[in-house]
Amino acid sequence: MKLTFRWFGENHDPVPLSYIRQIPCVDGVVTTLMDMPAGELWPTEEIDRLHRVVTEAGLKTEVIESVNIHEDIKLGAPGRDEKIEAYIKTMQRLANIGIKVICYNFMPVLDWARSHLYYSLPDGSETMYFSRDFILSTTPEELAKRYAEQCGGLALPGWEPERMVHVKEIIKRYDGVTQEQYWENAAYFINAIIPWAEKLDIKMAIHPDDPPWPLFGLPRLINSRESIKRFLDINPSPYHGITLCTGSLGADPKNDVPAIAKEFASRVHFAHVRNLKQLSNGDFYESAHPTACGSLDMYAILRALHDAGFDGYIRPDHGRMVWGEKGRPGYGLYDRAMGVAYIAGVWEALEREKTNK
């Protein structure tokens, strides 16, 4: 198991690489080019510069997150073949710097949604909160405005202001797109890129829907055990896999996340490990990582991966804002560093238990 840490780049992340370098057990960052629009070919010079900045800080870049897919591909629209070709060329350029995993998603238009970016908990920390009633009573445009007001100018992946200007028109394009058509479009993309993933030795790891149910009438793809199986059955290649996001799947109480981890461990190439507190009305908020702090059995999830021989990449996912820290919602340095310590501690205990048997 390799512990990593999310980093959004020099101009987009208030956390310096020198701080990440000091977190025990972390030797690599999961990064991206935040300014690249979906569907654009990533420039070689920008990829090389990103790699150089990270390696000069004493860290590795082996996982890239958010090589975003153009809506034309998701819609199966004219021009998707050219967009897929650009995606493959970006994969080739990322392979040149040693990237081993690409985490991506097939969520339409919006990558994720929360009603509150900084929700105050009784202990004084702040976290992200999802209110079903609030989301059902608002629009994407209103949410985007709310986010911009709350996050202090930090760019939020999936909610870039330049995209949100056109969000109504983009959503309109999905009128009449059935769930089955959406699956067909996903299969077309997968079967086009996986042969290249095999050649380049890059494992593709799709991220589940966040939250795991439909938003704003748009189709969804990865949100349950059944949908994960259907997705993996599209292509038998071991390079075709998933990102196990415990929080995204765990927001639905019907999802048995430890059982999902156990069943699909061989196809889990990357794991986002976080906990959350499910509320009786269907709302949830993101909690600290340990099992006792939320509704998910984090020990059981990690044990399922460990017992299956998981040797991929894990990163602590969303963290609260603690000790007065300000920054990108969900990505506080301190709480995620505590998440690293928790994950590393559980993993060490599992390793010792195995050795002492």
pLDDT averaged over the chain?
95
Q: Report the distance separating Cα 322 and Cα 29, nearest Å.
A: 22
- Torsion-angle region of residue 160: left (phi > 0), alpha (psi -120 to 50) or beta? beta
Rg (CA), the chain: 19
pLDDT tens sequence across 183-209: 999 999 999 999 999 999 999 999 999
pLDDT tens sequence across 296-334: 999 999 999 999 999 999 999 999 999 999 889 999 999
Query: What is the pLDDT at residue 357?
Result: 63
Q: Report the distance separating Cα 341 and Cα 302, nearest Å.
A: 14
Sorted by where each starts, the structural domains of the chain and their CATH numbers stand as: 2-356 (3.20.20.150)
Query: Percent of the chain beyond pLDDT 90?
Result: 86
Residue 356's pLDDT band (boundaries 50, 70, 90)? confident
DSSP 219: -
Contacts of 324 (CB under 8 A, 6+ apart): none
How is residue 204 written in tokens?
């593709």
- Give the ranges where the chain is alpha helix by DSSP (H): 17-20, 44-56, 71-75, 80-95, 132-136, 140-150, 161-164, 167-172, 179-200, 225-232, 246-250, 257-264, 298-307, 333-356
Query: Percent of the chain beyond pLDDT 70?
Result: 100
Task: Say how far residue 338 (Cα) sits from the centre of its chain.
Answer: 19
Which range has the worst mean pLDDT, 129-133, 151-155, 232-236, 315-319?
151-155
Residue 278's pLDDT band (boundaries 50, 70, 90)? very high
Polymer length of the chain: 357
Q: Given a cut of 80, is residue 91 above it in pLDDT?
A: yes
Q: Given a cut of 80, is residue 155 above it in pLDDT?
A: no
Contact 24, 340 (CB under 8 A): yes
Q: Report the distance separating Cα 318 and Cα 194, nearest Å.
A: 29
Q: Report the distance separating Cα 211 and Cα 223, nearest Å.
A: 8
Helix/strand/coil (H, E, C) string of 190-205? HHHHHHHHHHHCCEEE
Q: Report the distance separating Cα 91 and Cα 88, nearest Å.
A: 5
The set of catalytic residues is 207, 245, 272, 317-318, 331
pLDDT tens sequence across 45-55: 999 999 999 99
Residue 6, H or E segment: strand 2-6
- Asked whether the bond before 211 is cis by omega within 30 degrees of 0, the reply is yes
Residue 275, H or E segment: strand 275-278
Per DSSP bridges, beta strands 240-245 and 203-206 are: parallel
Taking Cα atoms as reference points, which of 247, 349, 342, 315 lies closest to residue 26? 315
